[in-house]
Amino acid sequence: MAENKMNINLNGEQREYDTSAFSEACTQKVAQLQFADNTILPILSEIMRLVRLGRAVDSNELESLLPKEYTVNTDENAVESDQKKETEENSSKDSK
């Protein structure tokens, strides 16, 4: 009688089992894991890719809608945007 072999990754190990020794519960659990690996995980990966893409698009749109003047906050101190500094410099030149 030929043995049916199956490789299963568990706890970081690649294990080989004789499937003819599997109980019905074990066979069902293997099928559930295969379904998750082969069907659910690829769908979730695609969803995550689409969410990241949508967020990138939304971020670009938001950037175009925000005012051009802003302050960049860092842990040490706040740094003003170059455009804001230029606006202030032009204002002080105009007042002289």
| SS3 state at 75 | coil
Number of domains into which the chain is organized: 2
For the chain, helix, strand, coil in percent to 5 are 60, 20, 20
Task: Examine the domain organization and report whether 28 and 56 are in the same domain.
Answer: yes
Mean pLDDT by runs of 10 across the 96 residues of the chain is: 84 96 97 96 98 97 95 72 59 57
Task: Examine the domain organization and report whether 37 and 83 are in the same domain.
Answer: no
User: What are the residues facing 18 on neighbouring strands?
Assistant: 5
Task: Examine the domain organization and report whether 54 and 96 are in the same domain.
Answer: no
Model pTM greater than 0.95? no
pLDDT in the model for residue 29: 97
pLDDT in the model for residue 89: 61
User: What are the residues facing 7 on neighbouring strands?
Assistant: 16
The whole-angstrom separation of Cα 35 and Cα 29 is 10
Q: Do 69 and 87 contact (CB within 8 A), yes or no?
A: yes
Task: Examine the domain organization and report whether 81 and 47 are in the same domain.
Answer: no
Residue type, 62: L
